[in-house]
Structure 1
Amino acid sequence: MSVTIGRVYDDVPPGVTRVLVDRLWPRGIRKGDPRIGQWCKAVAPSTQLRQWYGHDPAKFDEFARRYRAELGGGEQAQALAEIRELAAAGDVELVTATKDPDHSEVPIIVGEL
């Protein structure tokens, strides 16, 4: 089992289950695109948190703290459990459309697995 991080626009590695973890559908990608795999928008940060953060690296530590709190309950906790099950069954790549995956929700999700 391995969990890696990628961008939705990258090529799909062989033998990997890809999971899009953004709340919004990525621009320029049609529904059914094979680069997506599964879409697990329920695990994404809330709209309020996402808009507050605005992908500002200076806010990342506070964003991570708030997002971890969100992952502790509700539909986000259930979605995280589903990703854990996928990861237990094989290699998973969590993907995002953001230009800076290192300052997105993805590394936080990986840390919670």
Structure 2
Amino acid sequence: MKNVVKKEDFVSKQFLGVDFVVLSIGKDSMVTKMLYKSTDNVPFHQHPNEQSGYVISGKYNLKFGGQEYPLSEGDSYSIPANVEHSITIIEAGEVVDVFTPIRQDYL
């Protein structure tokens, strides 16, 4: 567990070509900050983690459950576990994501 993590100690990672940092890890949840570039592409995928997010900056199209959701600064979302979803980056930016349980592939 990393309950408190100073910004100079953030761990940089990559998933499907997208850069992100692990912000903190609790007993059952994980907080990350996605650093989306305009050239990033996150195709449909699913994982056994509920994913909730908050858009700090940028513009995106999030797809899941047969719907498409345009997102921009200040918007938030929650994707149930095991539900296929994708995100198209319209404008580069940052998104904070919380995963429950912890994403083992992000450690």
Give the strand-richer structure, 1 or 2. 2
Give the helix-richer structure, 1 or 2. 1
Structure scoring higher RCO (CA < 8 A, sep ≥ 6) equals 1
